[in-house]
Amino acid sequence: MSAGGKQYKAIGDDNWKRTDKVNAELFTLTYGALVVQLIKDYEDYGQVNKQLDKMGYNIGTRLIEDFLARTGMGRCQTFAETAEVISKVAFKTFLNISPTVTFPPPTAPSNPSLPTPSEFTLIFDENPLAEFAELPRDAREGGLWFSNVLAGVIRGALEMIQMQVEARFVSDVLRGDETTELHVRLVRLLEEEQPENDE
Amino acid sequence: MSFYLAIISPSDSPLLELPLSSSKPAPTSSAASNSAGSTFPSWSTFTSASGSDLGAPDGKVIGGNLGLVSAGGVAAAGGTGERQLMQMIAHMSLDGVEEMMEGTGSLYLRGVEKYNEWTVSAFIATSVKFVLLHDHKNDDGVRQFFLEVWELYVKASLNPFHTANTPIRNPVFEAKLRTAAKKFL
């Protein structure tokens, strides 16, 4: 897998070099303003999380086309390969970060129809979306996941390539945890069907 | 050595006030270098001050409604009385700061005013002013401290959850200010 890893890293770096760049502070400030406005509008942190996830889903369904066109990669053979591609190529191409992939140890009653491993965790050591943000106390207690849009993006993108996954944050440095971790779990492989309605 | 930092918004309302005490020993051994409370002169400045000092300068809003009634209790031992006095000194000097600001072009104004044993220095970060009260001369350290404060202030105001020109209540910001104070003052 390490040879494939290096290759993915090279593809990711190459894509990043070739794309147009935008000012990082502008991007961070825009996302921060978006989250704050959502909080003011909905006033319920659970709803804000849901909306961020929906927005991410809509972004993801479109982003996957852009990604496949840019990289021209073929089908991944295993879900583990998918995880590697997401972390080394996709995140590198779009956000210039390389989260680490870890696979949790397999639990005994795993679904036999799913490829193993069927879940992975991305660990972010830097998060450009939340560069200067400090959560106020009631946001922390209310359970806000500041970067929840990323979970939606992964869910939307993978759904377009016939994988239904569940993506959620399990810890976030903004909330006072030690690391920022995003957990992705494969629910089932989809047959060719009509795409889900945009919400 | 003790200090008092105030960050003042363009509409003259205080955004942050922070009394500090330095870990470095005082260069002169005149005042006892204990905590911020005990270095304050024990005689009340109000009984001996001239009437003009007590009156608030025109057009200045003294933050926090401290009033002259409570300041009269400064003669008693330390605590909140001194803090209000320092707050008042900082705000009274704003007039002098603005005068000097129009004179020079530099951002750092040292020794704007002297008030008994306290010197007031200011730093104009475009719209926001940092006012520092200190009792010993330490120009370079104060200057570097102001630059640090400026950087920390910019980073704190980039926080999407902070509305502009409101009081900054961020424990991380305060902790960083204190470490910066220990480093430079």
Residues of B in contact with A28 (CB under 8 A): 158
Cα(A165)–Cα(B164) distance, integer angstroms: 40
Domain count, chain B: 1
Query: Under an 8 A CB cutoff, do B161 and A33 touch?
Result: no
Six-digit token pair at A93?
């191409």
Distance CA(A28)–CA(A49), nearest Å, equals 18
Q: Which residue of A has its CA nearest to B152?
A: A132
Q: How far apart are alpha carbons B118 and B6 in whole angstroms?
A: 14
Given a cut of 70, whether residue B35 has pLDDT beyond it is no
Which one-letter DSSP state was computed for residue A36? Answer: H
Cβ of A134 and B155 within 8 Å? no
pLDDT of residue A34: 94
Q: Which of A122, A164, A165 is nearest to A147 (CA)?
A: A122
Residues 6+ apart with CB under 8 A from B76: none
Burial class of residue A156 in the structure, from the number of CB atoms within 10 Å of its CB (0-12 exposed, 13-18 middle, 19+ buried): buried
CATH of the domain at B20: 3.30.450.70
pLDDT at B3: 83
Rounded distance between C-alpha atoms, residue A47 and residue A43, angstroms? 8
User: Whole-prediction pTM value?
Assistant: 0.75
C-alpha span between A43 and A38 (Å, rounded): 8
C-alpha to C-alpha distances, B64 to A63, B70, B184, nearest whole angstrom: 52, 12, 29
Question: What pLDDT is recorded for position B115?
Answer: 77
Nearest CA-CA distance, residue B143 and chain A, Å: 25
Range of the domain at B40: 2-184
pLDDT tier at A28, thresholds 50, 70, 90: very high
Residues pairing with B114 in the sheet: B119
Q: Is B172 on the interface with A (CB under 8 A)?
A: yes
Is residue B51 predicted with pLDDT exceeding 70?
no
Look up residue B4 and give its two tokens: 């008092």
* Chain A residues within an 8 Å CB radius of B160: 29, 31-33, 35-36, 132-133
Task: Name the CA radius of gyration of chain A, rounded.
Answer: 17
Q: Between chains, do B161 and A133 touch, taking CB under 8 Å as contact?
A: yes
* Smallest Cα distance from B174 to chain A, Å: 13
DSSP symbols for A144-155: --TTHHHHHHHH
How many A-B residue pairs are in contact by the CB < 8 A criterion? Answer: 29
Q: How many CA atoms lie within 13 A of A54 on its CB side?
A: 10
CA distance B145 to B75: 31
Contact A93, A56 (CB under 8 A): no
Amino acid symbol at B44: S
From residue A20, how far is each of A13, A94, A130 by CA, in Å?
13, 10, 21
Nearest to B185 by CA among B125, B124, B106, B121: B121
pLDDT of residue B23: 56
Q: Taking CB atoms and an 8 Å limit, are A25 and B158 in contact across chains?
A: yes
Contact yes or no for B161 and A136 at CB 8 A? yes
Q: Is the pLDDT of residue A103 over 50?
A: yes
Amino acid at B95: D
Q: Are residues B159 and A35, on separate chains, in Cβ contact within 8 Å?
A: no
Q: Assess whether pLDDT exceeds 70 at residue A140.
A: yes
Looking at this predicted complex, what is its ipTM? 0.73
What is the CATH architecture assignment of A45-189? 2-Layer Sandwich (3.30)
In this predicted model, what pLDDT tens digit does every residue of A160-199 receive, in sequence order?
999 999 999 999 999 989 999 999 999 988 876 566 666 6
For chain A, what are the domain ranges?
45-189
Give the list of residues 6+ apart from residue B71 with CB closer than 8 angstroms, or none: B46, B81, B84, B85, B88
Distance set, CA A194 to CA A159, A160, A198, B2, B103 (Å): 11, 10, 12, 70, 71
Q: Which residue of B has its CA nearest to A34?
A: B160
| Distances A83 to A169, A185, B184 between C-alpha atoms, Å | 16, 10, 47
pLDDT of residue B40: 41
Q: Which helix (H) or strand (E) holds B118?
A: strand B118-125
CB contacts of B155 in chain A (<8 Å) are 132
Segment B82-136, tens digit of pLDDT: 778 888 888 888 888 877 777 766 677 777 777 777 888 888 887 788 888 887 7
Name every chain B residue with its beta carbon within 8 A of the beta carbon of A35: 160
Dihedral sign, CA of B132, B138, B143, B146? negative
The residue ranking higher by pLDDT, B98 or A157, is A157
Give, for A93, the enclosing helix (H) or strand (E).
helix A91-95
**Residue range B143-162: mean pLDDT, rounded:** 88
- Flag if A132 and B172 touch (Cβ within 8 Å): no
B151 touches chain A (CB under 8 A): no
pLDDT of amino acid B41: 39
A35 and B160 in contact by Cβ < 8 A?
yes
**Residue A51 vs residues A44, A46, A122, A149, B11: alpha-carbon distances, Å:** 11, 9, 22, 8, 37
